[in-house]
Amino acid sequence: MNLTDNKYARVFTLCAMYFSQGMPFGFVTYLLASYMAGKGFDVKTVADLTAFSILPWAFKFVWGPLVDRFTIRSMGKRRPWIIFAQLCMMLTLAAMIFIPDLTENMKLLFALVFIANVFASMQDVAVDALAVDILEEKERAMVNGLMFGSASGGAAFCAYVLAKVMGHYDMKTAMAVQAAVLFGIMLLPILIRERDGEKLMPWTKGKAMGAEKQEISTSTSLFLQTVIKAFSIRSALIMLALCVVIKTAIELHIAYGSVYYIQNQGWKDVDFSAMRGIVELYTIAGCFIGGFLADKIGHKKIAIAATILFGSCYIYFGCNPQYWSNTFAVKIFFSAEGIIFGALSVSLFAMCMDISLPAVAGTQFTMYMAMMNLSSIIGKKLAGEFDKMMDYGEILIFWGVFQAVVISVLFLFINPKERKVLQTLQEQSKNL
């Protein structure tokens, strides 16, 4: 079985790899954050840990050129990177099991969280590049919805299932279950080839298929020239700016909300984490809905509609403090947040693919995703600062306006057709 010729194999494999990427996020951002909030840690400490976990993702663009330029060709262009990164991520997270007390070994915890996410970000770059390589244009929005939804599924698994395991047993057992699931997912890229005729492992039979024909991978100077051209168009630069701010609001709210609801509204850490896990399921629904609508109506139109609706929800909830102590209302708000942001993310990912040059997709698309993760770090780091300046309602209103106005305006200036024009000019110049 191979990914290029089998649609179901490529969709399932891409989704499984995204599920595994979502697990470290759900573990740190929901389960571990709720665990720490329940132990009495303040907003700044919880936000710093979650921000630290995302830091490698902000610099994952360094992996793009390596993934594009180097590989074991006989095993596929992206697959060797995926297997290596998945293995290292699983082993690092498993190492946390041996920490005697997570809350008393913060430096070691921070270090392992960081290292695990270094390899998770590496795996993400390789998987994204693989998706650009093997997905047909008509598949992109829908499959992006499935992939992003799968990442939310991984986060939901850690937030809900592992919270239940932690509640019945302890944190170490929950971490052991996480490591076992990651190992199972790693078997997929080990057992499935990218293209027919390639090797499964370096010592098995097979040869390079298809990838050796891509001359961009064999010339560093040509590669760098193409990267510069890819980012020379206006839409590519505006997309970078957009990605830097797109997740600031939601990530600030995730970090701030964990402490606010547990320490101010009386939620138990296990209950809050489990609720966040259920919300991730709504995010999956948003991904599916957003992917379907984006294919039918247009990536850009859905992105603009979603970001305005997202900001409006923040403004409404921030203006109605009577809902903050109502458990049902809080669940509805978080669910709406998840659904809308799922739709927004899928349409944004599809737009990033639309304006990425295929020859350097691993680098260009990764740069966009890295800037989105930088946005997450900014949001989490700002949580502690806004905690000092504003109350909960004022924070929601401020970021709701920012989301609905600033971000929607940036979307208006992006034109995916610019990439197609650039690609056509490059192909014409090669034929001269």
DSSP class per residue in 79-117: HHHHHHHHHHHHHHHHHGGG-S-GGG-HHHHHHHHHHHH
The pLDDT score that the predictor gives to residue 211 is 46
Q: Which of 67, 97, 101 is closest to 81 using CA atoms?
A: 67
The pLDDT score that the predictor gives to residue 270 is 84
Is 415's pLDDT higher than 70?
yes
The pLDDT score that the predictor gives to residue 421 is 64
Please report the beta strands in 223-335, taking only residues with DSSP state E, as ranges in sequence order: none
CA distance 35 to 69: 41
The answer to whether residue 210 sits within a structural domain is no
The answer to whether residue 418 sits within a structural domain is yes
CA distance 150 to 16: 7
The pLDDT score that the predictor gives to residue 229 is 82
CA distance 270 to 159: 9
Residue 89: give its domain's CATH number: 1.20.1250.20
The pLDDT score that the predictor gives to residue 432 is 42
Using DSSP, how many helices (H) and how many strands (E) does the chain show?
A: 19, 0
Is 409's pLDDT higher than 80?
yes
Beta-bridge partner residues of 193: 2
Q: Which of residues 250 and 37 earns the better pLDDT score?
A: 250
Decide: helix, strand or coil at residue 2: strand
The pLDDT score that the predictor gives to residue 307 is 94
Beta-bridge partner residues of 2: 193
Is 428's pLDDT higher than 50?
no
Report the pLDDT averaged over residues 230-253: 90
AA letter at 8:
Y
The answer to whether residue 2 sits within a structural domain is no
Report the pLDDT averaged over residues 79-95: 91
The pLDDT score that the predictor gives to residue 385 is 87
CA distance 133 to 315: 40
The token duo for 381 is 């780091």
Q: Which of residues 396 and 355 earns the better pLDDT score?
A: 396
Number of residues in the chain: 432
Q: For the beta carbon of residue 393, count every other beta carbon within 10 angstroms.
A: 15
Cβ atoms of 364 and 230 within 8 Å: the answer is yes
Is 413's pLDDT higher than 70?
yes
Q: Which of residues 90 and 216 earns the better pLDDT score?
A: 90
Q: Identify the band that residue 212 occupies on the pLDDT scale cut at 50, 70 and 90.
A: very low
User: Over the Cα atoms of the chain, what is R_g?
Assistant: 21
Number of structural domains (the chain) is: 1
Q: What are the phi and psi torsion angles at 193 (to 5°)? A: -80, 160
The token duo for 233 is 């168009």
Q: What predicted TM-score, i.e. pTM, was given to this entire model?
A: 0.69
The pLDDT score that the predictor gives to residue 215 is 46
Is 218's pLDDT higher than 60?
no
Report the pLDDT averaged over residues 4-20: 85
The answer to whether residue 208 sits within a structural domain is no
Q: From residue 88, give the alpha-carbon distance in Å to each of 39, 45, 92, 121, 124.
A: 30, 27, 6, 11, 13
Q: Which region holds residue 119: left if phi is over 0, alpha if psi is between -120 and 50, else beta? A: alpha
Q: From residue 256, give the alpha-carbon distance in Å to each of 114, 162, 251, 339.
A: 21, 22, 8, 20
Is 196's pLDDT higher than 80?
no
Cβ atoms of 331 and 416 within 8 Å: the answer is no
The pLDDT score that the predictor gives to residue 214 is 46
For the ranges 102-106, 276-280, 292-296, 330-334, which has the lowest average pLDDT? 102-106
Cβ atoms of 258 and 46 within 8 Å: the answer is yes
Residues 160-180, buried b or exposed e (16+ Cβ, 10 A)?
bbbbebbeeeebeebbbbbbe
Q: Which of 351, 352, 357, 355 is closest to 369 using CA atoms?
A: 352
- Domain of residue 396, residue span: 7-201+216-431
The pLDDT score that the predictor gives to residue 426 is 57
Is 68's pLDDT higher than 80?
no
The pLDDT score that the predictor gives to residue 213 is 44
Report the pLDDT averaged over residues 138-162: 81
Residues 213-249, buried b or exposed e (16+ Cβ, 10 A)?
eeebbeeeeebeebbebbbebebbebbeebbbbbbbb
Q: Identify the band that residue 243 occupies on the pLDDT scale cut at 50, 70 and 90.
A: very high
Report the pLDDT averaged over residues 96-114: 85
Q: Identify the band that residue 208 occupies on the pLDDT scale cut at 50, 70 and 90.
A: low
For the ranges 39-43, 107-111, 245-249, which has the lowest average pLDDT? 39-43
Token pair 């907003």: residue: 43
Q: Identify the band that residue 33 occupies on the pLDDT scale cut at 50, 70 and 90.
A: confident
For the ranges 346-355, 383-392, 420-429, which has the lowest average pLDDT? 420-429
The pLDDT score that the predictor gives to residue 222 is 76
CA distance 258 to 221: 48
Cβ atoms of 230 and 357 within 8 Å: the answer is yes
CA distance 219 to 209: 19
